[in-house]
Structure 1
Amino acid sequence: MTFADEQDGERRRKSASSPDSQGAHETKPRKKRANTPEVGHALRAAYQQTINEDIPPDLLDLLGKLG
């Protein structure tokens, strides 16, 4: 038993030697990233500041009403 989808899929597949598929997988060489630990340190500091911030009282009130 075969499904219509299976038959359609077989007809739609292109062979590896078709002109449309040549060069489709070629990619540009990636640029190497510079080693910048400052960015990581800055992100960690911003995250830590966010964690250390107090929760506004009105938001605590809203959360209390939900619970």
Structure 2
Amino acid sequence: MPATKPAKVLDKDQQMGSALRSVYQKTVDETIPDDLLDLLGKLD
């Protein structure tokens, strides 16, 4: 059994990691709607 992954598998892993980072960053950058901020403010 080889100790390292084949290049094809590593490439797929890198593509998946890149896609996940992209989706995460878009989510972080998304603005929070004012009505949701108002609701959160009422929790205090």
Question: Please, what is the CA RMSD of the aligned residues?
Answer: 1.6
> Please, what TM-score do these two structures have when normalized by structure 2?
0.72
Structure 2 gaps of 5+ residues are none
- Structure number with the bigger relative contact order (C-alpha 8 A, sep ≥ 6) is 1
Aligned to 1:47: 24
Deviations 1:12-39 (A, max 9, x none): xxxxxxxxxxxxxxxxxxxx68212111
Give the ranges of 4+ consecutive aligned residues of structure 1 lying more than 2 Å apart after TM superposition.
Answer: none
How many residues are treated as equivalent by the alignment?
36
Name the structure with the higher helix share.
2
Q: Percent identity?
A: 56
Question: Given the two structures, how large is their TM-score scaled by the length of structure 1?
Answer: 0.49
Q: Point out where structure 1 has 5 or more consecutive residues left out of the alignment.
A: 1-31
